[in-house]
Structures are given as structure tokens and as C-alpha cells.
Amino acid sequence: MQDKIKKIVKEIEGYRPANEDDLEQFRIKYLGKKGVVNDLFVEFKNVAPENRKETGMLLNQLKNKAEEKFELYKKELVKNSDFSGENRDLTLSSSELELGSRHPISIVRNEIIQIFSRLGFNISEGPEVEDDWHNFTALNFPEEHPARDMQDTFFVQKNPDIALRTHTSSVQVRVMENTKPPIKTISPGRVFRNEAISARAHCIFHQIEGLYVDKNVSFADLKQTLLYFAKEMFGEKTEIRLRPSFFPFTEPSAEMDISCNICGGKGCNVCKYNGWVEILGCGMVDPNVLENCKIDSKKYTGFAFGMGIERIAMLKYQIKDLRLFFENDVRFLKQFKSAL
């Protein structure tokens, strides 16, 4: 009987399962109720007493070997079940990767940047937490002047000199302080105003400011630049209209309307039936502002303009509620696919 056991041990040692079924056959053959091991235990009862000890040991070894083998390959098959060879279809296509989309504010900001960079404007940025000088005083807002109330400001507690910038015109001051003309730059960024949130206003929004300072920069240059922008952004047929306005840092100042891109000027609820929609403020940089930034206002002139990116995006995509830009509902966001 000992020889028989040794032969079976060898058999088991050499065993490798081809697949899961094969391993199950192995289990039934050796470890099943009517399997080889149990049969041997039955046979063991007839072994002569003097051989019992040795045969018993061998028999236990056999049983352990068969069990170890079975456990080992069971684990291995579970681990590799995805790679079990012939059952795998390598021609199967993988599940599609869903790409995210850019936020509409980023898309429109990038488009505006591209339009102005074609005209030679570079990009400048400044801090969102600003001091009074850059946000107001250098821009010709006299202290205590009611013009400061045009922009409801968030001040930093206990320090009336520090506030969240209310417009990106603050970057205009920083650039002029640090660069000699010619200056041709646009500054995109977040701005903050203490306003109640509604479909048309938010306490955080985005602006792009443009600034051009050089010898002989004229209002005609400003108008031509903005006309080019309007046509590039809203289509070749777009017309512009400038209305006199007031900003402390520009003189003269204007607000610009475009012919309504929805109804083409015929009148609809977006343009409130007058055919024009306001999109930006602009003007010639006030000589006081140039002087505040140590630029000789006798030698240089400049124009500036500023627009809200949300407003442009709402017109471009016909979005009626500004709050949608901030809610980040994926159902809203995934409608905007763009290369920009």
C-alpha cells in the first residue's frame, strides 16, 4: 500500500489544471467522498499493525498534498479569471471614454482672448484681493466720491484699504505702473461685488479689461477695435453703437451696444424689443490715470474697455439665467463642447 500511496503523491505533484473544470475533476477524483484519498483510508483499516504508523503518515501526507494543490490552483484561477486564455475575446472594443467639457465661461474667455491676441494684445493678470489705490484712487475715484458707490465693494474686515477687486481695471493700473508704453494688453479675471444674486447679477463674476496706450491712440482706434471684436464674436453682420456714459477713469466714456444677435435688430425679448443689447463700457484713459501711473499724458494717450464674460456668454449661447454658470450642473455643462 505504501508504494501505491507514493505513486499517487507523485501523480499529484505533477498535476497542473488546464482550467476550472479540470481542477474540479481533480478535487472529485482525489478529495471527493468516493475519491482516491477516502478509498485509501478505507483500505488503511486492513493494514498490518506493524506497518500502520508509517502508512498512516504517508496517507496523511498524501491528503495534505492534494488539499494544498487544490487550494493553490483555486486561488490562482480566481486571481487570473479575467485572463484565462481561450474564453477571452481580444477583438471586443473597450468601453468608450467620456471626455469632460470646458466650462462655457472658459470657452468664451478663451475666444475673447484669441480675438484680441490677433490684434496684438497680450495678457496680464493681477491679484483678486486689491488695495484702494489700484481699485479706486489711481483710477481717478476721489475719496468719498459717490462714484465709488457704483460698485458695491466687499472690504476686508477692519481694513478699509483692502478689498476684493470690483473690476479688472485694477490690473490696468498695475500694468501701467510697471511697463513703458506702448502697452497693449487684456486682463481677464474674477471680480466681486456686493450684489444680491439673481438671474442677471451675481456677487462673483468675470471680466476682461482691455488697455491700449501709445502715442496718438484715438477714439477712432477704440471704435475700430471694438467693431472688429463684435463681428468676430457675434458674426459679420453685427453692428455697434456707442452711447455717452461715465466712468471716473475714462474721458470721454461710452457704453457699447451690439445689434441684437438673436433677432438681428428686429426686436425680441433679449433686446427688450429695441434691437440693441449693451455689452461693455469703454473710453479714453483719463489723463489723471496716466499721470497717477507715471506716464506722460502730454506724450501718450490710451483707450480702455471692460466687459463681463457672463454677459457675453449669455448672449452667445442664449442663456437666460446667470446663476447656471455657478451651479455646475453637469447636464448644463456638458452641452458646451469646444476646441478652445
**Residues engaged in binding ligand PHE (CB under 6 A):** 167, 169, 209, 247, 250, 281-283, 304-306
Query: Is the sign of the CA dihedral 84, 86, 90, 93 positive or negative?
Result: negative
Closest separation between CB of residue 289 and ligand PHE, Å? 10
Nearer to ligand PHE, 17 or 126 (CB): 126
Nearer to ligand PHE, 12 or 139 (CB): 139
Q: How far apart are CA 120 and CA 118, in angstroms?
A: 5
Residues contacting 299, CB < 8 A, separation 6+ = 215
Closest separation between CB of residue 170 and ligand PHE, Å? 9
Nearer to ligand PHE, 107 or 173 (CB): 173
Nearer to ligand PHE, 155 or 273 (CB): 155
Closest separation between CB of residue 142 and ligand PHE, Å? 17
The residue at minimum Cβ distance from ligand PHE is 306
Q: For 286-304, give one letter per residue: b (16+ CB within 10 A) or e.
A: bbbbbebbebebeebbbbb
Q: How far apart are CA 135 and CA 151, in angstroms?
A: 11
Closest separation between CB of residue 219 and ligand PHE, Å? 13
> Per-residue DSSP letters for 58-69?
HHHHHHHHHHHH
Nearer to ligand PHE, 69 or 165 (CB): 165
Residue type, 44: F
Cβ atoms of residues 266 and 173 within 8 Å: no
Closest separation between CB of residue 267 and ligand PHE, Å? 26
